[in-house]
């Protein structure tokens, strides 16, 4: 399998290269040259099979001959063996036609673990085969950071630097990043918002001298391997609910558009999907885009669903590339306008194409709290604020015929204050995570400034390895 950049001007790469590269060198995001197809008979056969077996069948065509099949299978087994639920991503019915797909049974209680547990192992494997090291830099609005640190802590071939917005993540999220004591883990609290952190990460990738000096790699969903691992649970849920014989809809709490793009990929691979519904909080750039055809950034508002406090939604570029027939110059034009003026217009054809597969809805703070409260009282099920946003939007898009799956992206115990205020019950952290709540924290506070981040990373490389 080969990969091409959304902007059409970067080298065509194989899976292992894409895994280590993160962002393409033309500033774009990698996409597979074509979508592997999964036949209806294969989808039907996924029902009831162990998660790891389905994962291997879905992921292997994307990996091609970059990694030996036995090694890939071992890494998949180890990744999902670490989940605390035997089904890995169980489906819970919350209404006659609606289900929550619980994606938070991994080590850090968020859906990020599903991909990150595998990504850590894949990167380590490829680096070891090549005798290389990498510097991983990631931006987080709360969950990617903890999941990445958990996946890479103590690994000898990688240093991991996570940029998070100071004071804008929950205490549990912050402690997952600041309490690991391994020397290769670096939590950087930036005085800005998530979009500032993400812009700095992209800036580091576009500063080629720095990128090459530190052997920069990325773990955000700009890295195609993240998306690949997330495609699996769409097939697992779809098959459990009757696919390929009946279509299924998914509502996805959305920020950086990675998770829902994985659903789009599953659909392109043959999963019958009725609707992909984008659910946002008041940071609703994606809802406005679907309504008006104009992608326009505005200021970020802090909410009780901090991981979705995002305006620049990276993976939308992948969807735009698809809708524009992989026309790199059209995508480059849109991204240049976004950089220059903070907005771009989507032409009528591509917009109609996007609207055929996607719907969208927003959920404000009062609606989030009300949804947590009513779901607890009526269904006895405790939602975290991100999943509650999905549940609220899903209710408005529920249709008879196709079951609706809401992606449960985080465990309520990651956001105990918001959940307690809304439902009147305080969700408990699993016992294994309790020591973290009184452990010593270690973080560096930096301005939201690319040069300051570069200096910090290079100083570390000099101190530890005598290089750079
Ligand atoms: C709990 C939670 N829900 C939803 C999202 C949004 O996912 P995505 O950025 O893939 O759209 C995130 C962050 O990415 C998250 O951490
Ligand atoms: N919500 C995310 C933001 C980063 O998203 P990613 O999927 O691109 O890593 C977070 O919790 O950090």
CATH of 87-109+224-423, one of 3.30.200.20, 3.10.290.10, 3.90.1140.10, 3.40.50.1100: 3.40.50.1100
Question: Does residue 243's CB lie within 6 angstroms of at least one atom of ligand 1?
Answer: no
Dihedrals phi, psi of 15, to nearest 5 degrees: -60, -45
What is this model's ipTM? 0.99
Q: Can you tell me the mean pLDDT for 457-464? A: 86
pTM score of the predicted model: 0.97
Distance CA 56, CA 35 (A): 16
Q: Can you tell me the mean pLDDT for 85-99? A: 96
Q: What is the pLDDT of residue 465?
A: 65
- Over the stretch 300-336, which tens digit does the pLDDT of each residue have? 999 999 999 999 999 999 999 999 999 999 999 999 9
Ligand 2: which of 104, 152, 163, 255 to mutate, most ligand atoms within 8 Å of CB? 255
Distance CA 391, CA 398 (A): 10
Tokens 């080969």 locate to: 2
- Over the stretch 402-459, which tens digit does the pLDDT of each residue have? 899 999 999 999 999 999 999 999 999 999 999 999 999 999 999 999 999 999 999 9
- Over the stretch 262-274, which tens digit does the pLDDT of each residue have? 999 999 999 999 9
Q: What is the pLDDT of residue 461?
A: 81
- The two three-digit tokens of residue 190, written as one number: 């930036």
- Over the stretch 172-223, which tens digit does the pLDDT of each residue have? 999 999 999 999 999 999 999 999 999 999 999 999 999 999 999 999 999 9
Q: What is the dihedral of CA 280, 284, 285, 290, to 10 degrees?
A: 70
Q: What is the pLDDT of residue 463?
A: 79
Q: What is the pLDDT of residue 368?
A: 98
Q: What is the pLDDT of residue 369?
A: 98
The 8-class DSSP code of residue 346 comes to: P
**In this structure, which ligand is nearest to the CA of 260?**
1
Identified catalytic residue from 112, 202, 268, 414: 112
Greatest extent of the chain over all pairs of C-alpha atoms, in Å: 63
The answer on pLDDT for 468 being more than 60 is: no
């Amino acid at each position: 399998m080969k990969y091409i950049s959304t902007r059409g001007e970067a080298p065509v790469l194989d899976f292992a290269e894409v895994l280590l590269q993160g962002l393409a060198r033309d500033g774009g995001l990698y996409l597979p040259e074509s979508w592997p197809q999964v036949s209806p008979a294969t989808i039907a056969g996924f029902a009831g099979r162990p998660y790891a077996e389905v994962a291997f069948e879905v992921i292997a065509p994307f990996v091609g001959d970059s990694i030996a099949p036995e090694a890939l299978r071992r890494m998949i087994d180890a990744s999902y063996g670490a989940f605390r639920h035997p089904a890995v991503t169980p489906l819970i019915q919350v209404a006659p036609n609606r289900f929550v797909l619980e994606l938070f049974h991994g080590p850090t209680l968020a859906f990020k673990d599903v991909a990150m547990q595998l990504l850590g192992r894949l990167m380590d494997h490829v680096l070891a085969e090549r005798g290389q090291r990498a510097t991983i830099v990631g931006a987080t609005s709360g969950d990617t950071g903890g999941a990445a640190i958990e996946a890479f802590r103590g690994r000898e071939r990688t240093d991991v630097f996570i940029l998070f917005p100071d004071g804008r993540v929950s205490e549990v999220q912050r402690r997952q990043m600041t309490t690991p004591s391994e020397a290769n883990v670096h939590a950087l609290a930036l005085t800005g918002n998530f979009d500032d952190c993400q812009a700095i990460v992209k800036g580091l990738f576009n500063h080629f001298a720095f990128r090459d000096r530190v052997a920069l790699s990325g773990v955000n969903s700009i890295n195609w391997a993240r998306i690949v691992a997330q495609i699996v649970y769409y097939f697992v849920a779809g098959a459990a609910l009757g696919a390929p014989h009946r279509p299924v809809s998914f509502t996805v709490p959305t920020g950086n558009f990675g998770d829902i793009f994985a659903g789009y990929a599953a659909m392109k691979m043959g999963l019958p999907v009725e609707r992909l519904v984008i659910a946002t909080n008041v940071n609703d750039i994606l809802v406005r885009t679907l309504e008006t055809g104009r992608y326009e950034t505005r200021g970020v508002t802090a909410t009780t669903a901090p991981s979705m406090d995002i305006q620049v939604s990276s993976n939308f570029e992948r969807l735009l590339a698809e809708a524009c027939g992989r026309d790199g110059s059209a995508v480059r034009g849109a991204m240049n306008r976004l950089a220059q003026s903070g907005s771009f217009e989507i032409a009528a054809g591509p917009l109609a194409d996007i609207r055929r597969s996607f719907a969208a809805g927003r959920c404000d703070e009062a609606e989030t709290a009300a949804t947590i409260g009513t779901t607890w009282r009526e269904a006895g099920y405790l939602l975290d604020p991100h999943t509650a946003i999905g549940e609220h939007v899903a209710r408005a898009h529920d249709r008879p015929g196709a079951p609706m799956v809401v992606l449960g992206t985080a465990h309520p115990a990651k956001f105990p204050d918001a959940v307690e205020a809304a439902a009147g019950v305080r969700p408990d952290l699993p016992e294994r995570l309790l020591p973290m709540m009184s452990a010593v924290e270690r973080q560096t506070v930096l301005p939201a400034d690319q040069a300051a981040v570069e200096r910090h990373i290079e100083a570390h490389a000099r101190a530890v390895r005598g290089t750079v």
